[in-house]
Structures are given as structure tokens and as C-alpha cells.
Amino acid sequence: MNNVYKWLLAVALCGPAVAVQADEPEANGTKQSGVEKVLSRLSVGGYGEVAYTRNFYSDNQYRYRNPKKYKDDPSNGRFDIPHAVIYLNYDFGKGWKMGSEIEFEHTGTGSAIEIEADEGGEYEHEIEKGGEVELEQFWIEKTFASWANLRLGHIVVPVGLNNAHHEPLNFFTVYRPEGENTILPSTWHDTGMSFWGVSGRFRYEAQVVAGLNAMLFSRDGWAHSAAGSAYEFKPANKYGFAVRGDWYAAQGLRIGLSGYAGQAMHNTYPNEMEGSGKTYDKVKANVLIGSVDMTLNRWNWIVRGQADYGYISDTPLLNAAKLNAPKSSPYNKTSVGKNAVSLGVEAGYDVFSQITKLRDDRQKLYVFGRYEYYNSYVPTHGQTNYDFTKRSCIAAGVNYYPVPQVAVKAHWSNRLLKSQYNNEPSINLGVAYQGFFL
């Protein structure tokens, strides 16, 4: 995060405590007030999105079970605030920093599941708040050199293009690209340790984090929910290992490789499933994820692309364990495919680059197109096949930047399913910002 921010929120947050600090001399003999010292080390920023969608297809949950019945359903619309995020970082000096990211999603839903000891260990689902607030990042970092940084705490797991670059000005569509957003946690964040650095044209990172939970994998989302926890803590009986490398090959061109490996079974609470005996003791549900992505930002073009492939072992026994889990448990009961895949590419050209007055005013208007293919459920031999999980999606639209930190977005999209299902066209409008405040 760049040091391009400071002041109003710092005063509001630090106010009285900062105001009473005495002036301190700097090395050059001038005095620096307490407020100025704090502001020079404080970073405040964030990003957010407001979106409107009109879906020209049925939103009934049974539309794939009986497509003909819902073919002529009326269109439906929705407003949403997918993400509203506040960054708050502080440089303590001597290489020590603190970083945090507080996220409000969809203006939110909030709930928790608890096991009531006084009710025979029954799972109890309690609605605690009408909104969801997540601490997406909270870490302490020590910098030894540009090539050696150690970060401890709650961190983003940068596997895939969407997780490494999830802010709304890093994609053209109103919502995050749906392929990666479907099969991977998004934004994927977990607690652990990260070692990262920059050397020449390379940036690299290696992480050890709490493992994914196999019982939260699903047919429609594969690993999308598997990094979460229904409890007030995150079970960490097993651990995951993530790596990422980015090569800045030429001006405006970045190529990235990332991956994840870890055991996902037995990463639950309680550690052993009720009533399962020894049936699932040897089930590991090992997860492997690989991803390659790129970004080209040059010659008034922005081109982005990614390909992701996921694998989870022991799916027959894993699916049996999910079906046999207590009905009141927070686990997903749908079948899990042994693989998931996502491919996507988008390209946009800045039309205003050809108009001198608008170019000099730093206004931009990207006209873009996007194509995706993804499948959240690739079954193993003998598993039921669900063709509606195989989807292509085409999109076309515009992004208008009146200033570099704000984008007004509009696009048409169509989700293309197998011929026995109904396609899912929609129109989407949105506005997004991203940046640091003073």
C-alpha cells in the first residue's frame, strides 16, 4: 500500500490523544508536532461499489431442476453494495508496520452457529445482526529488506488474479469476475504467516495459513466457502500452504503464478464428526489449486486473463461424510466434484486517449469485452453429473473514469448454459472508487 494518504481520518481517530503530544525536534533541527508525526505514519484508504442489476431470467432456486417451468418468468432487479472497505495502516518505525482492512459486504447479514453444551451439544443458529462486517486483514509486519518481509496475522491469500487484485478498479465488470469468484474463496483471507519480497522484476510470497474445510466445499461453489467459519474462531487442525510469484516482464506487463496445497478433511469443530466412528479417519481430502494470470496495461489497452484448476482427493468418502453430518451442523450437504476450473479474459480500449482535451484532463473511457468459462463441479467416476455447473459467460460494456480513483461502470452480460437450460442475460450498472484519502 503506497504512502499517499493522511490527515482527516487520522485526526478523527487519534484526536485528543494526538493533540496533547509535545512538539518533537527532527534531525534537521526543525520541530514536528505530535499530529504531524502521527499523520506522517498513518495510512487511511479503502474501496467500495454500488451496483444495480436487471436479470432477464428467473431467479427461482429450482430453475435448473425444471427449466421449462421457469422459462417465461418475469425479469427481476436488485440493488447491492457488494463491498465497502476501510484501510487503516500505521508505520511504527524500525521496520514495524500494522495493517488492517475492515469490510462491509452487501450492507450485510450476520449470524453465528454455536454448540450449546447445556442442550446436549445441539447446534444453534443465532441471528446476531442484520449486517455482515468482516476483518479481512489484520497483521503486523517486520521489514528486514526489500527482499525480506515477514507478515503475521490475518492476511489475504493471493491465489488467482481475483484474490491478488480484488479491488474494483482491477476488473471491468460491475461485479467481480464470476468464474474465480465462484470456485475460489473471494476475497480469500485467513490467519497465518507470510514471507514476501521484491527482487528486480520479481515479487514473491509464501504463506502458511489455517487450512480449508472440506465439509464446506460444495457443488455450486467448490471451495468458495471453504475458508470461512461459522464459529467465533477458525478451526486450524490442518494447515494450508500458498505461494505466489509475479514477473514484471516489461513496461505494463505482469505475469503471475500462484498455488495452494493442504489437507482439508478433519479441519472442523468438533474435530471428529458425531456418530462417524472410525469411518472417515483416513480421509484426507487433499486440496491442490494452481493458477496463472496476466495483466497488460499499455498502448491505451488493458488486457487481463487467468486460468485456474482445482483438485480435491477422496471425494466419494468426503461426500458420504457430508451427507452423514448432523442435520443441524453448518456443513454443506451437496456433492463435491474432484475438480473445478475457471478460464477468463477481458480486454478494454481507452477511447478518450484519442481525444486530446479529455486525455489531458486524465479522463478515460474503456470499451471492453469479456469471456469466461467455468465449472464448479467436475465429478469423479460414478458421481452424478450436473450439467448446469458448466457455464460460459460473455459481457460487453464501458468503464468511465472522470478521475483516476472513480469508475462508472455499465455492461450487458449473458450466462450461457447447456441447451436444456435457459440462458441468463442481465444488464448491470455500478459506480466504484478505490484509493487512499490524503
Q: Which of 227, 228, 306, 231 is nearest to 262 (CA)?
A: 227
Q: Which residue has the higher pLDDT, 33 or 147?
A: 147
271 alpha carbon, distance to own chain's centre: 27
Predicted model pTM: 0.86
Determine the residue type at 387: D
374, pLDDT greater than 60? yes
166, pLDDT greater than 70? yes
Determine the residue type at 204: Y
Show Cβ contacts of residue 275 under 8 Å, excluding neighbours closer than 6 positions.
324, 326
111's grid cell: 449470524
**Rounded to an integer, what distance in angstroms lies between the CA atom of residue 404 and that of residue 299?**
17
pLDDT reported for residue 113:
61
Length of the chain counted residue by residue: 438
26-35, 100-109, 134-143, 184-193: least confidently modelled range: 26-35
**Rounded to an integer, what distance in angstroms lies between the CA atom of residue 39 and that of residue 44?**
10
Cβ proximity of 128 and 164 under 8 Å: no
**Rounded to an integer, what distance in angstroms lies between the CA atom of residue 303 and that of residue 253?**
9
**Binning pLDDT at 50, 70 and 90, where does residue 6 land?**
very low
**Binning pLDDT at 50, 70 and 90, where does residue 3 land?**
very low
For residues 221-228, average pLDDT: 94
Q: Which of 145, 244, 237 is nearest to 194 (CA)?
A: 244
Cβ proximity of 73 and 56 under 8 Å: no
pLDDT reported for residue 116:
53
Say how many CA atoms lie within 13 Å of 130 toward its Cβ: 0
Q: What does pLDDT average to over the chain?
A: 88
8-436: CATH class = mainly beta
277, pLDDT greater than 80? no
**Rounded to an integer, what distance in angstroms lies between the CA atom of residue 137 and that of residue 187?**
10
3-state helix, strand, coil in the chain (%, to 5): 15, 50, 35
**Angle at the Cα of 35 from the Cα atoms of 34 and 38, rounded to 5 degrees:** 85
Cis peptide before 187 (omega within 30 of 0): yes
23, pLDDT greater than 50? no
**Rounded to an integer, what distance in angstroms lies between the CA atom of residue 342 and that of residue 222?**
11
Instruction: Tell me the pLDDT tens digit for each residue of 397-418.
Output: 999 999 999 999 999 999 999 9
**Rounded to an integer, what distance in angstroms lies between the CA atom of residue 159 and that of residue 185?**
9
pLDDT reported for residue 273:
56
User: How much is the CA Rg of the chain, to the nearest whole Å?
Assistant: 24
Residue 34 φ/ψ, nearest 5 degrees: -60, -40
Instruction: Tell me the pLDDT tens digit for each residue of 82-129.
Output: 999 999 999 999 999 999 999 988 876 666 565 554 444 566 666 554
Q: Where are the domains of the chain?
A: 8-436
**Binning pLDDT at 50, 70 and 90, where does residue 437 land?**
confident
111 three-state secondary structure: strand
377, pLDDT greater than 80? yes
**Binning pLDDT at 50, 70 and 90, where does residue 328 land?**
confident
Instruction: Tell me the pLDDT tens digit for each residue of 191-217.
Output: 999 999 999 999 999 999 999 999 999
Helix H or strand E segment including 321: helix 315-323
246's grid cell: 509475479
Q: Is the dihedral of CA 374, 136, 326, 277 positive or negative?
A: positive
Q: Counting beta carbons within 10 angstroms of the beta carbon of residue 16, is it exposed (0 to 12), middle (13 to 18) or buried (19 or more)?
A: exposed
**Rounded to an integer, what distance in angstroms lies between the CA atom of residue 169 and that of residue 48?**
10
**Rounded to an integer, what distance in angstroms lies between the CA atom of residue 75 and that of residue 369?**
24
Instruction: Tell me the pLDDT tens digit for each residue of 29-46.
Output: 556 677 777 788 999 999
Q: Which residue has the higher pLDDT, 344 or 33?
A: 344
Determine the residue type at 174: V
341, pLDDT greater than 80? yes
**Rounded to an integer, what distance in angstroms lies between the CA atom of residue 271 and that of residue 236?**
10
